């Protein structure tokens, strides 16, 4: 039941994909296990393909972060100690490195890189709006994750970079983040808003032009003029980084479209995440990104759809009494109480039937998937949470060898 | 704290937040259905406008204008641009269109540049509807919100205070005052956090509850734990179950039940392990959060739609002692 039958080996495997690509972006809606799957894929690559592999993770569960030794590291990458892997019985051919994303630090670095001079850089970094903007601007995490990816890739330090994406409300958002960032800094509106401050000569004295006057009157009434002036000043400073920022955002976008980059969509077989995953696969293809793999995570075992299992479950319920009688004969003290044994048998049968319905629903949803990439991997529901290298190793076995599906 | 907290459904504004994917929309929809079943009229507000809410009542999508999607349940989808238009029309008596250019782009810009603007337009509209209800001008008694996810809810609830910190004068300042007061009133408002018995959702719930207490002045209601797997066995039963999995017993069962016997026992084993892992996280939640916990069982038969909304409403009703 376990190993795959000979001859059914698919032509494309995740191993092959990871061997060919330099960047794998794992994406999907919240709660599907992206982070664990990404870390497991990186671990698998370290084991089977060798080289220097980095997993860049956005928001790992605390115990997983601890397991990878990531706590308190900020943006710095560090190597998962070979002893940790060895302790989990893993013979790694290569090196596994891990890093988290510190959004604030990454933004600060970016400002320091692009500002024309230090004075401007610090004027931006100290602006009260800067913090709010980088912390709350919904796309700022998305963009900065891709920006970090670019930075790391450009360093040429790794053979393979595996990244999991930030939890966005809409998984598609981050694909547009670099383009949106470029648009934002180049927008006419931004220029329009800061215009009166620029032509006014000295900062703070506004010269209205006819076109913008109603807007300012409106904005003044709602927001107060001081506030508006703060905003304008902030963006005046920010605009000094315009060309650096935009060319960078464009470079990030080119990298995501590069042949060396691929996307892997992670989902569970529940209706809502699956719907998101399908839309996401379609969006990737529409936008000319490379859709490399679909990972179905936390699937229920196929044995729940086995007719023999269903028959046995039915018999457990219908013949619980006679079965319990027969089991008393075994002499096992835990089976001496006939009524208890019968009750347990019925519960076991009912439980199988319950999960069987879910498993059938999963199978049907999977069959209905319209557009799937060449590589499809399934990772079953594991009895325990994945919170250590052992757990990652078992996920990676399913990812790489399709165990037990 | 002024006396005991009023019963959940007697309040005027119930917000449901939580990590993505835990079932916020289902809980909001089920709460609305439950409230309507005890004779209240409810306005159900979908903040992220994914169209999930009407689907939970087998209804087609709704817009910014509330529509009755089920007897006693009205629904609307939040739209910050429409909210801004309404605000300008009601408060500033400004003939909007044509004077400030393409409103969507202006809003987009201001909302991006000025922290809290999009949030205030969302929470402002919601609390405005709550005030209409309290003052008897609305045709509903209770507002239930399928609110923003964990990452965004604090900014939304704190938007009024943020604005007052940034804006020194002007109508926005005075108009956010009553908003903050209603949000802070435990007789009116309760924020409920939806979670599941899994590591990340529980960790996020604990952090969120802590953050809400520290950063915003909005009363907390309950934590709703969704998809709780049933406890299959008592301790004694479990010994019996383990005995069933002994090799010699296994042979007997295979002889009587056929080849599928192992599948059935394995499935029960998996169910027990999953339940046990979940129980560890729930224990952690109980120890870390001093709010009433409501449990909603995992539903095996159906995954979505009005049928599920009903089942969840019944489960919530039982938990609330209705």
CB contact under 8 A, B168 and A235: no
Q: Which residues of B touch A61 (CB under 8 A)?
A: 199-200, 203
Q: Which burial class, exposed, middle or buried, applies to B73 when counting CB atoms under 10 A from its CB (0-12, 13-18, 19+)?
A: buried
Closest-CA residue of A relative to B111 is: A137
**Predicted pLDDT of residue A1:** 36
Is B251 in the A-facing interface, judged by CB distances under 8 Å? no
Per-residue model confidence (pLDDT) at position B212: 94
Task: Please compute the mean of the pLDDT values over residues A37-49 and round it to a whole number.
Answer: 94
Express each pLDDT in B54-77 by its tens digit. Answer: 999 999 999 999 999 999 999 999
Cβ-nearest to A352 among B113, B203, B264:
B264
Q: Which residues of A touch B301 (CB under 8 A)?
A: 357
* pLDDT recorded at residue B4: 44
Query: pTM (2 decimals)?
Result: 0.84
SS (H, E, C) chain B: CCCCCCCHHHCCEEEEEECCCCCHHHHHHHHHHHHHHCCCCEEEEECCCCCHHHHCCCCCCCCCCCEEEECCEEEEECCHHHHHHHHHHHHHCCCCCCCCCCHHHHHHHHHHHCCCHHHHHHHHHHHHHHHHHHCCCCCCCEEEEECCCHHHHHHHHCHHHHHHHHCCCCHHHHHHHHHHHHHHCCCCEEEEEEECCCHHHHHHHHHHHHHHHHHCCCCEEEEEEEEECCCCCCHHHHHHHHHHCCHHHHHHHHHHHCCCHHHHHHHHHHHHHHHHHHHHHHHHHHHHCCCCEEEEECCCCCCCCHHHHHHHHHHHHHHCCC
Nearest CB neighbour to B271, from listed A61, A319, A351:
A351
Q: What pLDDT, on a 0 to 100 scale, did the predictor assign at position B19?
A: 86
Confidence of residue A137 (pLDDT cuts 50, 70, 90): low
pLDDT for the residue numbered B89: 75
Give contacts of B 99-128 with A, CB under 8 A. 99-101, 105-106, 108-110, 112-116
What residues pair up with A99 in beta bridges, in sequence order? A56
- In this prediction, residue B3 carries a pLDDT of 40
Given pLDDT bands bounded at 50, 70 and 90, which one contains residue A266? very high
Report CB contact under 8 Å: A223, B48.
Answer: no
Q: Do A352 and B94 touch (CB under 8 A)?
A: no
Q: Do A334 and B242 touch (CB under 8 A)?
A: yes
Looking at mean pLDDT, say which of A396-405, B5-14, B127-136 comes out highest. Answer: B127-136
Contact flag A223-B170 (C-beta cutoff 8 Å): yes
CB pair distance less than 8 Å for B92 and A193: no
Q: Which residue of A has its CA nearest to B238?
A: A344
Asked if pLDDT for residue A64 goes beyond 60, the answer is: yes
**Each residue's pLDDT tens digit, A214-264:** 666 666 666 666 666 666 777 777 777 777 778 888 888 899 999 999 999
Task: Round to whole Å and give the CA distance between B168 and A89.
Answer: 63
* Predicted complex ipTM: 0.87
Considering only CA atoms, which of A75, A86, A13 is closest in space to residue A46?
A86
pLDDT at residue A135 greater than cutoff 70: no
Looking at residue A341, its pLDDT comes to 96
Cα nearest neighbour of A235 on chain B: B113
**Residue range B185-204: mean pLDDT, rounded:** 93
Q: Reply yes or no on whether the pLDDT at A169 is more than 60.
A: no
- Report d(CA A45, CA A51) in Å as an integer: 8
**Which CATH superfamily hosts domain A14-174+254-301+371-401?**
P-loop containing nucleotide triphosphate hydrolases (3.40.50.300)
Computed over every residue of chain A, the mean pLDDT equals 82
Interval B85-125: pLDDT, tens: 787 777 665 555 444 455 555 555 555 555 567 788 899 99
Q: How far is B171 from chain A (nearest CA, A)?
A: 7
Taking all residues of chain B, what is their mean pLDDT, rounded to a whole number?
Answer: 87
Nearest to A262 by CA among A101, A373, A391: A373
Q: How far is B182 from chain A (nearest CA, A)?
A: 21
Question: Model confidence over B146-190: pLDDT tens digits?
Answer: 998 777 788 889 888 877 776 666 666 777 888 999 999 999 999
pLDDT at A185 over 90: no
Determine, for residues A332 and B167 on separate chains, whether the beta-carbon distance falls below 8 Å: no
pLDDT band at A386 (very low <50, low <70, confident <90, very high): confident
pLDDT-derived band of residue A11, with 50, 70 and 90 as boundaries? Answer: low
At A3 the pLDDT is 40
- Give the nearest chain B residue to A227 (CA atoms): B167
CB contact under 8 A, A313 and B271: no
Domains of chain B: 8-230+285-319 (3.40.50.300)
A300: phi then psi, degrees, rounded to nearest 5: -85, 155
Q: Note the pLDDT of residue A103.
A: 78
Q: Does B203 reach chain A within 8 Å, measured CB to CB?
A: yes
pLDDT tops 70 at residue B283: yes
pLDDT at B26 over 90: yes
Q: What percent of chain A has pLDDT over 90?
A: 40
Which has the higher per-residue pLDDT, A120 or A31? Answer: A120
Q: Give the residue on A whose Cα is nearest the Cα of B304.
A: A271
More confident residue, B196 or A194: B196
In chain B, which residues have their Cβ closer than 8 Å to the Cβ of A348? 232, 241, 244, 264-265, 268
């Amino acid at each position: 039941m376990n190993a795959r039958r000979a001859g059914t080996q698919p032509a494309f495997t995740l191993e092959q994909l990871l061997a060919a690509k330099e960047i794998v972006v794992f994406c999907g809606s919240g709660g599907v296990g992206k982070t664990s799957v990404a870390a497991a894929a990186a671990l698998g690559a370290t084991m089977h393909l060798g080289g220097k592999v980095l997993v860049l993770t956005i928001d790992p569960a605390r115990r997983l972060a601890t397991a990878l030794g990531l706590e308190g590291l900020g943006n710095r990458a560090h190597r998962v100690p070979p002893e940790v892997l060895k302790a989990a019985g893993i013979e790694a051919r290569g090196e596994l490195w891990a890093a988290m994303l510190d959004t604030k630090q990454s933004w600060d670095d970016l400002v320091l890189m692009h500002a024309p001079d230090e004075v401007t850089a610090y004027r931006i970094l100290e602006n009260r709006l800067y913090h709010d903007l980088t912390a709350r601007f919904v796309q700022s995490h998305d963009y900065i994750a891709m920006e970090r990816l670019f930075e790391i890739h450009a360093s040429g330090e790794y053979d393979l970079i595996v990244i999991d994406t930030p939890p966005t409300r809409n998984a598609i958002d981050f694909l547009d983040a670099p383009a949106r960032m470029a648009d934002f800094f180049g927008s006419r509106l931004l220029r329009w808003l800061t215009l009166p401050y620029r032509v006014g000569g000295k900062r703070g004295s506004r010269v209205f032009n006819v076109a913008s006057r109603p807007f300012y009157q409106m904005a003044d009434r709602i927001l107060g003029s001081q506030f508006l002036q703060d905003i304008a000043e902030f963006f005046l400073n920010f605009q000094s980084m315009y060309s650096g920022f935009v060319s960078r955002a464009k470079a990030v976008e080119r990298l995501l479209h590069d042949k060396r980059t691929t996307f892997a969509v992670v989902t569970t077989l529940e209706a809502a995440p699956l719907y998101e995953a399908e839309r996401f696969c379609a969006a990737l293809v529409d936008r000319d990104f490379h859709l490399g793999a679909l990972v179905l995570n936390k699937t229920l075992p196929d044995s729940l759809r086995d007719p023999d299992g269903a028959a046995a479950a039915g018999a457990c319920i219908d013949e619980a009494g006679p079965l319990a009688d027969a089991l008393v004969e075994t002499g096992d003290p835990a089976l001496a109480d006939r009524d208890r044994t019968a009750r347990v048998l019925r519960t076991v049968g009912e439980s199988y039937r319950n999960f069987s319905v879910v498993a059938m629903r999963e199978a049907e949803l999977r069959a209905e998937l319209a557009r799937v990439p060449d590589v499809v991997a399934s990772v079953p529901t594991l009895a325990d949470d994945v919170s250590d290298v052992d757990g990652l190793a078992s996920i990676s076995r399913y990812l790489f060898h399709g165990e037990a599906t | 704290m002024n006396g005991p907290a009023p019963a959940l459904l007697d309040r005027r504004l119930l917000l449901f937040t939580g990590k993505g994917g835990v079932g916020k929309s289902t809980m909001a929809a089920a709460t609305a259905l439950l409230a309507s079943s005890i004779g209240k009229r409810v306005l159900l507000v979908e903040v992220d406008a994914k169209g999930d809410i009407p689907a939970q009542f087998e209804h087609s999508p709704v817009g910014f204008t509330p529509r009755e999607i089920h007897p006693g349940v009205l629904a609307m989808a939040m739209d910050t641009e429409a909210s801004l238009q309404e605000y300008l029309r009601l408060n500033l008596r400004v003939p909007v269109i044509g004077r400030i250019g393409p409103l969507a782009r202006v809003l987009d810009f201001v909302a991006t540049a000025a922290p809290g603007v999009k949030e205030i337009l969302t929470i402002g509209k919601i609390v405005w509807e709550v005030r209409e209800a309290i003052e008897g001008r609305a045709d509903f008694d209770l507002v239930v919100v399928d609110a923003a996810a964990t990452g965004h809810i604090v900014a939304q609830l704190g938007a009024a205070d943020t604005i007052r910190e940034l804006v020194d004068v002007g109508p926005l300042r005075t108009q956010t005052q009553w908003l903050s007061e209603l949000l802070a009133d435990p007789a009116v408002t309760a924020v409920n956090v939806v979670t599941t018995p899994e590591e990340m959702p529980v960790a996020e719930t604990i952090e969120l509850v802590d953050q809400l207490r520290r950063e915003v002045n909005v009363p907390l209601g309950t934590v709703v734990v969704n998809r709780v797997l049933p406890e299959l066995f008592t301790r004694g039963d479990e010994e019996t179950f383990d005995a069933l999995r002994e090799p010699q017993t296994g042979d007997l069962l295979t002889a009587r039940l056929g080849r599928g016997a192992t599948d059935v026992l394995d499935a029960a084993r998996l169910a027990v392990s999953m339940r046990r892992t979940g129980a560890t996280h729930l224990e952690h939640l109980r120890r870390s959060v001093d709010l009433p916990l409501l449990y909603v069982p995992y539903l095996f038969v159906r995954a979505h739609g009005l049928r599920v909304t009903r089942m969840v409403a019944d489960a919530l009703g039982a938990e609330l002692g209705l």
